[in-house]
A and B are shown apart, each in its own frame.
Chain A
Amino acid sequence: MTNSIADLEESDCFLITGSNTSECHPVIADMVRRACKRRGAKLIVVEPREIPLAREAHIFLQPRPGTDVAWLNGMMHVIWKERLWDEAFVKERTEGAEALFRTIDRYPPRRVEMITGIPQDQLIRAARMYGSAPRSAVLFAMGLTQHISGTDNVKSSANLAMLTGNVGRPGTGVNPLRGQNNVQGACDMGALPNVFSGYQRVSDINNRAKFEKAWGRLLSGKPGLTLTAAGEAIQCEKIKALYIMGENPLLTDADLTHVKKALARLDLAIVQDIFLTETARLAHVVFPAACFAEKEGTFTNTDRRVQRVRRAVPAPGQCLMDWEIIARLSTAFGYPMRYGSARNIFSELAALTPSYQGITYDRLEAGGLHWPCPDAKHPGTPILHQGQFVRGKGLFHAVEYRPPAELPDTDYPFTLTTGRYYEHYHTGTMTRRSKGLDLLCPQGYAEINPEDAGEMEVEEGDRVVLTSRRGRVEMHARPNPACPRGIIFAPFHFHEARINLLTNPARDPVADTPEFKVCAVRLEKAAD
């Protein structure tokens, strides 16, 4: 997030898109609801499905899945033509505006309606609402990024924020809501193929030199493979060994059949987890790990706030904290690691990571700190890009609409979009083992528009089979008017119905994120 969560309390207008906030980030949804109901902030929701927050929105737009660039360009078109844009901001703090104008000029509301299905007058109202509010914030999540055009979508929303000067001030910004507790931290720490911690590129010789000195080994400058490219690399035997810590790709990756085949080809699969997950079952060796309540450390949340994790209870059996396991494996492997405590690891990483340099465990006792926090006196940075952008001037990236990789056709007439339920988390390994949550929500449904359901003679609770070009899944169906016609929604929490057997591994060319939010499927009633 460019801004902090607390900052949302000051927004005058929220544009929420590609985020089912009340189900996936409930506490943030509370803030949005509170801001609207108790302060009078405006809320625009743009979602193919009628998510719960849409019912409280001033404006609710329902675009066809995968058409985000088109409506974002359309909103900018209106803002530009009606002179609601922030000329001073664009002039002083950005570059590339001319190219953007040339692009958005081609997205008048009429054309946008044809692409997205959003009525023109609604788009204009939304553009005016966002464009004229003193402080507007964009919130988004995977609904914007899990497309082949994911990077373009994000750039487009950044364009919108910059065009209206909604950057670098409280209550504004472009705010991705990260789905997992420490996904921000994992990125910050360099669990990425191309960067060390703090986004220091491995290809840069100076960075390598710095880390070589600290780590005492020569380091490779060749960026590694991404997780989504790993499957292919295993298939063609480029990857022989996989060390998986706390991941369950057998439920989360697109096109599971393919993933499973790939894993079976490995010479060595090491899985380190708290449960014997679907993935762990395929491992050669399994390490039992401590869970968050059993370890010391830090998480970095979606607004870049580093906060402490504390040990509340002892880990069961012989479980060790993940860092202890890594250190021991590394030592056994011949690269000795001795730390003694998470605090010692943090001191080492903070010294090597400029944005974390000023953070210490002692400081964190008084509460979290937002990075960048470059020195011990620095109060942290809740709002990014104040005064100037990290790169100097904000650069507009004019982007054009590209249709999704797989559109429905006569064989696969429905668009499947995947997501989460409020009560469950990711692959359900934790939440489905919690009595209360399981009681609230024991199973997943393929949600389908009632009219579509009526035509297919599908009723609540019927078993249906969803088939895509990649696989088939049988699950219960539930007619739900929140789904527009032609769209089926299904959650990926449930191992009984592995929805990612169906999804399309087509990826965004830059971020390598699979297109989980759009794939073509067919729905049939299951044979008895």
Chain B
Amino acid sequence: MIAITIDNRNVLAEPQDTILQAASRNGIRIPTLCYHKRLSPIGSCRICMVEVTGMDKPVPACTTPVAEGMTVETRTERVMELRRTVIRMMLINHPMECHVCGASGSCALQDLAYEYGVAAHEFGEIPVNRRVKPYATPLIPYDPNKCVLCLRCVHACQEIKGIDALSIALRGSLAHIQGERSRCISCGECWQVCPVGALTQAVTDPPTRIHQMEAVTTTCGYCGVGCQMELRVMDGKVWGVTAPDDPEGPNNGSLCAKGRFGFDFIGHPDRLTVPLIREGGRFREASWEEALAYAARKLKEICASHGPDAVMGFSSARCTNEENYLFQKFLRAGVGTNNVDHCARL
């Protein structure tokens, strides 16, 4: 550990820490926007600028390494004003329509503007990019006017997914994110890391503020990776899927298109909702009691006339451990046969 001073507090930092890491390790908050813990430091937003004694210019806390004896000040008039200027710049051309924005309430720009008291369009409006542009995937609309070019999306696509479908197009104030359809896998990683409302989900109808909904952490029901995911729930319905930033999970906060967008089946109108019994070549609805009694009676008859080994059960790799256990227990102990298998071979 090495000793540094942040805002007149003597603190200890790991030698490989950046100023930002050292500060957060010691409970000192430095405002950030582009920084994301699952990404390498980007250094694009310049919100985290701090002053270091001996340096002529402020330095970004997220990319500057600490050094023994360093003295850092995070809230000098100079850097506070710099942050205000940067926020003003981000708000140029920003549609002031937080009330119809999906990110409102979970928007880093909104929070910063509030914290630093920046009102709308202090630099005036510069007419650029006024159009929602086609993005790498049809499932995620991109609004360049809300985009602050923090580049989290680009880095996530590159660093986490290794896909590299996103890049910056054009230069200067015309710069915006451009996606390559042929590379994109619609995993939604970009959407998940977007700190503002530039990326949204096309599949939620009506539009909802997914990030503010209750998050139920569970395990994905598709392939065998077992990704940890958060089902975003409101009014008994799943509206979207995010992934917890859990470095211990098998997916470390990442998902694929199936996990991210394959949730509509949950409350789908095609779902079975009542037990059915076949009668004369077609199904009729039945009560649970009736359906269970019917099935149990027929099973007992078959066992009685043909023996328990005339019964077989196909269990399911889709169901839980508890259910699989119970299923085989039912066949083995209840029915009395080892005729139980599932689709592991398929």
Contacts and interface: CB of A to CB of B under 8 A. Distances in A.
A touches B in complex, CB < 8 A: yes
A218 B329 CA distance: 12
A312 B278 contact: no
A1 B251 CA distance: 16
Interface in A228-265: 228, 230, 233, 238-247, 249, 252-253
A38 B162 contact: yes
Interface string B198-225: 0000110000000000001111111111
Contacts of A34: 159-162
Contacts of A191: 315-316, 324, 327-328, 340-342
Interface string A285-309: 1111101111101111111011111
A283 B257 CA distance: 33
Contacts of B250: 4-6, 27, 301, 303, 305, 368
A322 B266 contact: no
Interface in B70-119: none
Interface stretch (B21-29, B59-67, B228-236): B228-236
Contacts of A196: 328, 332
B226 to A, nearest CB: 3
B272 A243 contact: no
Contacts of A433: 264-265, 268, 270
B2 interface: no
Interface in A165-220: 177-194, 196-197, 202, 211, 215-220
Contacts of A178: 223-224
Contacts of A332: 292-293, 295-296
B71 to A, nearest CB: 34
B153 interface: no
Interface stretch (A110-118, A155-163, A266-274, A464-472): A266-274
Contact of B276 (A184, A285, A306, A422): A285
Contacts of B58: none
Given A30-B254, A288-B273, A333 B334 contact: yes
B328 A314 contact: no
Nearest to B251: A27
Interface stretch (A127-135, A404-412, A480-488, A510-518): A510-518
Given A180-B224, A197-B328, A240 B219 contact: no
B68 interface: no
B346 A440 contact: no
B336 interface: yes
A33 B319 contact: no
A94 B43 CA distance: 52
B39 interface: no
Contacts of A306: 321
Given A183-B317, A242-B314, A295-B320, A308 B262 contact: no
B142 to A, nearest CB: 16
* Interface bin, chain A: 35 or more
Interface residues of B, number: 111
Interface in B287-340: 288, 291-296, 298-300, 302, 306, 308-340
A286 B306 CA distance: 23
B248 A287 contact: no
Interface string A330-364: 10111101010010011011000000000000000
Nearest to A277: B272
A448 B307 CA distance: 49
A387 interface: no
B131 interface: no
Best-buried of A146, A223, A305, A339 by chain B (most CB within 10 Å): A305
A122 interface: no
A181 B295 contact: no
Interface stretch (A69-77, A82-90, A395-403, A423-431): A423-431
B125 interface: no
A391 interface: no
B320 A342 contact: yes
Contact of B341 (A179, A226, A321, A430): A226
A247 B314 CA distance: 7
A182 B223 contact: no
Given A274-B272, A436-B264, A514-B345, A431 B258 contact: yes
Contacts of B248: 367-368
A431 B261 CA distance: 9
A286 B275 contact: yes
A378 interface: no
B238 to A, nearest CB: 6
A313 B229 CA distance: 15
Given A27-B251, A313-B233, A313-B238, A217 B336 contact: yes
Contact of A228 (B163, B261, B334, B345): B345
A193 B339 contact: yes
B15 interface: no
A140 interface: no
Interface of B: 137-139, 159-163, 185-187, 202-203, 216-228, 231, 233, 236-238, 246, 248-251, 254-258, 261-268, 270-278, 283, 286, 288, 291-296, 298-300, 302, 306, 308-346
Given A178-B224, A292-B318, A330-B326, 20 more contacts: A177-B224, A183-B343, A186-B321, A187-B344, A191-B327, A215-B332, A216-B333, A225-B312, A227-B343, A238-B309, A238-B310, A243-B299, A243-B312, A245-B327, A285-B275, A285-B298, A300-B321, A301-B224, A305-B226, A310-B217
17 contacts: A5-B250, A6-B250, A25-B225, A27-B255, A37-B162, A275-B271, A276-B270, A285-B294, A285-B295, A285-B298, A298-B219, A301-B225, A309-B218, A326-B330, A337-B329, A436-B262, A436-B264
CB-CB nearest 9 A-B residue pairs:
A317-B273, A301-B226, A297-B320, A33-B162, A246-B316, A178-B224, A224-B338, A335-B334, A26-B256
